Amino acid sequence: MRTPIKILIVASGLALLGSCENKSNETKPIRKTITETVFASGILVPENQYNLTAQNEGNLVKLDFIEGDTVKTGDILAIIENKQYAYNAQSADALLSIAKENISPKAPALKQAETNIQLAQIRLNQDQVQFDRYKKLYDENSVSRLDYENALLTLQNSKSNLASQQENYNLLKQQADQQLITQKSLKGVNSSIFQNNTIRAILGGKIYEKKKQLGDYVKKGDAIAVIGDPDNLYAKLSIDETNISKIKLGQKVIVQLNTDKDKNYNGIVSEIYPAFDDQSQSFYCKVTFTDPMPFRISGTQLQANVIINEKDSMLVIPRNYLDYGNKVNVKDKGTVVVETGFISTDWVEIKKGIDENTTIILDKK
């Protein structure tokens, strides 16, 4: 449903002039202040309002709040029971302990690899001594060339074996390091998931609505409570698409709560939401109150007039004196066509055609 534009006209101090002979049929244009407004409906909303949501699925085994409670940031408000996440967290702890043991110097695989390196080094030392002896004998022509080459080949094989054992140790160490990093990550992930079973207040505030009960099964993303700032509420207005272009930041707003329509509260447009809401088929804007707001119940329905234009000393006539085709009946002159501006239920702005000294007659046909 489209929200209408309202024209509010306030008397500027000049009395409406009527004919002394027939006041009900004659009058003259007068000067008034005209205020153009956009009417909108809305609700009271707490600042920083948010839904406290479940990050895991499971049954609520603790709900430590009631509606109206004031909570602080970080307060534990609810606990979800989910044994699978608890088991995963315990398993991650155990696997991390094993990964830490596998990287220590006493780890069986690394210890065996170190032993193999030591044995290969001993064998290399022995083969080096053997080769040096054969080389000396070969230089003295005391052994054959074949014996010398065999000693050289044995030495080279020992060197290759030592290098291989060292590479094997480095590979085992690298694998153990990678496994430790992986298990640390898994522990962190599982610990974080398990900790999500404990639901804390993201921001302090007042519990405005309790959406779940003790024992309820919740899924990830389900709202458990609505929390907001109890000391600071604003008006969230629904604006029709035909009027949203007229709404500007800083415009004055007059608000009436449906709970007390005899009281007006002043405010200003402080934010225009950037998206169109498909469900309500309207745009939204935020109105910050400049008057104290003693009534602080979230969701209270309200009505508001956003002042989009205001003109002083505008020439107007009563609406019923304007005929079709923007014509008026002028005394002693007949029908005159006028140029009009704003038109409200009771008044019409006159831009051209007549002035304050013109007497117009009501056509009772």
Boundaries of every domain in the chain? 5-47+232-361, 50-82+197-228, 84-195
Q: How far apart are CA 26 and CA 338, in angstroms?
A: 17
* 3-class SS letters over 218-234: ECCCCEEEEEECCCCEE
pLDDT higher than threshold 50 for residue 221: yes
* Of 127-141, 166-180, 313-327, minimum mean pLDDT range: 166-180
Q: What is the pLDDT of residue 180?
A: 80
DSSP state, 2?
A: P
CATH number among 3.40.190.10, 3.40.50.300, 2.40.30.170, 1.10.10.60, domain 5-47+232-361: 2.40.30.170
pLDDT higher than threshold 50 for residue 2: no
Taking residues 69-94, report their average pLDDT: 80
Q: What is the pLDDT of residue 48?
A: 92
DSSP state, 235?
A: E
Q: How far apart are CA 165 and CA 155, in angstroms?
A: 15
Percent pLDDT > 90 in the chain is: 52
Q: Write out the two tokens for 229.
A: 């700032």
At the topology level, CATH places domain 84-195 in Helix Hairpins (1.10.287)
CATH number among 3.40.225.10, 1.10.10.10, 2.40.50.100, 2.120.10.30, domain 50-82+197-228: 2.40.50.100
Q: What is the pLDDT of residue 250?
A: 95
Q: What is the pLDDT of residue 8?
A: 54
pLDDT higher than threshold 70 for residue 92: no
* Of 10-19, 91-100, 130-139, 342-351, minimum mean pLDDT range: 10-19
Most confident listed range (12-16, 35-39, 244-248) = 244-248
Alpha helix segments (H runs only) across the chain: 83-103, 108-139, 145-195
Give the torsion sign (CA, 180, 181, 187, 188).
positive
Q: What is the pLDDT of residue 364?
A: 61
Q: What are phi and psi of 182, to 5 degrees?
A: -60, -45
Higher pLDDT, 149 or 188: 149
pLDDT higher than threshold 50 for residue 206: yes
Strand duo 217-218 + 205-210: pairing: unpaired
Please tell me the number of Cα atoms within 13 Å of 39 on its side-chain side.
9
Taking residues 327-348, report their average pLDDT: 88
Give the torsion sign (CA, 291, 295, 299, 305).
negative
Q: What is the pLDDT of residue 195?
A: 76
Q: What is the pLDDT of residue 106?
A: 75
Q: How far is CA 228 from CA 117, 198, 205, 222, 364, in A?
A: 67, 20, 5, 18, 59
Q: First and final CA of the chain: distance in angstroms?
A: 35
Residues 317, 32: contact at Cβ < 8 Å? Answer: no
The count of other CB atoms within 10 Å of the CB of residue 166 is 16
Q: What is the pLDDT of residue 244?
A: 93
143: pLDDT confidence band, cut at 50, 70 and 90? confident
**pTM flag (> 0.85):** no
13: pLDDT confidence band, cut at 50, 70 and 90? very low
1: pLDDT confidence band, cut at 50, 70 and 90? very low
Taking residues 216-236, report their average pLDDT: 92
Q: Write out the two tokens for 300.
A: 């209270």
357: pLDDT confidence band, cut at 50, 70 and 90? very high
23: pLDDT confidence band, cut at 50, 70 and 90? low
Strand duo 283-289 + 339-343: pairing: unpaired
Strands (E), 243-321: 252-257, 260-272, 283-289, 301-318
Q: What are phi and psi of 11, to 5 degrees?
A: -65, 140
